[in-house]
Structure 1
Amino acid sequence: MSTKLILTTILLSWASIVSAQEQTVIRVTGTVTDPVSNSPILANVFYEKLPYYDDMGTSNTDKSNGVYELYMIENEKYIINVKADGYKPISEEFEVKDQGIGLIEKNFKMEPDAMHEKFTLDNLMFSRGKAGISEESNQELDEFAAWLDERPNVIVQLEGHTDFQGNADANMQLSEERVLAVKDYLVSKGVKKNRIQTKAFGGTEPLTRERTPEARAKNRRVEVRIIQQ
């Protein structure tokens, strides 16, 4: 190898080292939370530098507050992937633009995936303080049974809730009796027992803390969570 070629190689290598030393590393941090409850999510946040994927890193969120922390090179573009059990993955491009403080805050809201989505049986009504299903509820339950019949692989969990007022143990018992009553009705319409799970919450997860009759009625509900498709 000629002296000129050796010298050129050394100079190029030195230039690369200087260029790398001049790169500014920025701290990127934020939270990963549920969009409805705002509760923290235990998730994995992974990044790769574009366009050659020649720099990458990962961080798991703190399960107590959903906070993650990463370090990326200023003015570079990355793709960030966020994954968590029970939620739809997030993948988005991100350019590291510092505002002069060496810190960027980037928060993520993760949507539940289809296997964990839930909905409320809005027209389901019970006798006051009892588990008996009113006749006005039959149409909605019949439609739900038909919906399940059209989707033979779906498994659901019925989640019973009462208002938060009153005796906690009695509320828990009542919510359990109500979801079992709904399950029995659906089974009577031909839905297999092993496709319906139940869980009682009593008054532990009210939608509102207001004490009006309308608010209390809103808290008394049965929600359907899809746990398998």
Structure 2
Amino acid sequence: MMTMKNLRIFLGLFLIFLLVAAEVLAQSDSIVTYQITLINKRTGKPVPGVKVHYKKLPYESEIGNLTSDNAGKVTAYFRAHEKYSLSIDNPGFLKVAEIVNPLEGASSDLVVNRTVNLIEGGVGTVLKLENLKFRRGEATIMDESYVELDRLVEMLQEAPNLRIRLEGHTDYVGNPTANLALSQQRVDAVKAYLVEKGIDAKRIETKAFGGSQPLVKSTNAAERAVNRRVEVRIIGDTNE
């Protein structure tokens, strides 16, 4: 026979069970606001118009297709205790595919804010190092160039299978032989910096063009400045 004391203990435990069950039930219905900002890894700028797809696992019973806005942002609404596959696939960038647990990194009000860095890629893609500067007539890299070069290092670190070719160009004015040699020295200097930062030299080829491929032909020296450049061409994957 249950005594009054035992009855009180039983009722207390039953009440705790009900409270825990209610909390679990409430959490199972909770929705996480999942906000992603898509950033170009090399330039640091947001990427609009990117297609983001998600599916609820394991049966793919919920499917969503989103597009990033002008600020590179997308917002999805995930069930807190489910898992989702997330894929980001955009021309000119390497594909991102991952499994998302919505509660990882969520705030107390069930909001996640995260940044996904998109890495430019695809064989044949050419990236111009806009802010890479050399001393005039030399292969000495100027100090203001290292911010952009360090972004390139980070891009290569995050995509360890990429192989690139550094392509050097000079102005077409002057001695063609000297221009060809200078463009080779400049890509060699960039390669040396990347290797110094830990990038495997086998992943980096170089090619010098001198002044044979100008972007602009003009008698104006300032306009011809764009011809002096180093471009990064994606040439393959080390797993190929």
Tell me the TM-score normalized by structure 1: 0.51
Find the counterpart in structure 1 of residue 87 from structure 2. 81
Listed one character per residue, the Cα deviations across residues 36-77 of structure 1 (whole Å, up to 9, x for unaligned) are 101222211111111111112121001x21011111100211
> Runs of 4+ in structure 1 displaced over 6 angstroms?
none
**Total equivalences in the alignment:** 144
| Structure 2 counterparts to residues 110-125 of structure 1, below 5 A | 110-115=118-123, 116-118=125-127, 119-121=165-167
* Superposition map of 1:171-182 within 5 A: 171-175=222-226, 178=227
CA root-mean-square deviation: 3.7
Aligned residue in 2 for 1:45: 52
Of 56, 63, 88, the match for 1:56: 63
Residue pair 1:26, 1:74 contacting (<8 A) in 2 also: yes
* TM-superposition CA deviations, 1:130-177 (whole Å, max 9, x none): 465443635949x738xxxxxxxxxxxx6859xxxxxxx7423443xx
> Identity of counterpart residues, as a percentage?
20
Q: Secondary structure at the match of 1:144?
A: strand
Structure 2: stretches of 5+ with no match in the other structure: 1-24, 128-164, 188-205, 236-240
Would the aligned equivalents of 2:82 and 2:102 in 1 still touch at CA under 8 Å? yes
Q: What is the CA deviation profile of residues 100-136 of structure 1, one whole-angstrom value per residue up to 9, with x for unaligned ones?
A: 11211122111112231445435x5558xx4654436
1:105 & 1:22 partners in 2: Cα distance? 21
Change (3 A) 1:160 1:109: farther
Counterpart-to-counterpart distance in 2, 1:95 and 1:135: 57
Asked if the contact 1:23–1:74 (Cα under 8 Å) also holds between the matched residues in 2, the reply is yes
- Could you tell me how far apart the structure 1 residues matched to 2:170 and 2:90 are? 35
| Counterpart residue number, 1:135 | 178
Q: Is 2:166–2:207's contact at 8 Å kept on the other side of the alignment?
A: no
Instruction: Return 5+ residue gaps in structure 1 as ranges.
Output: 1-18, 146-157, 162-168, 179-219
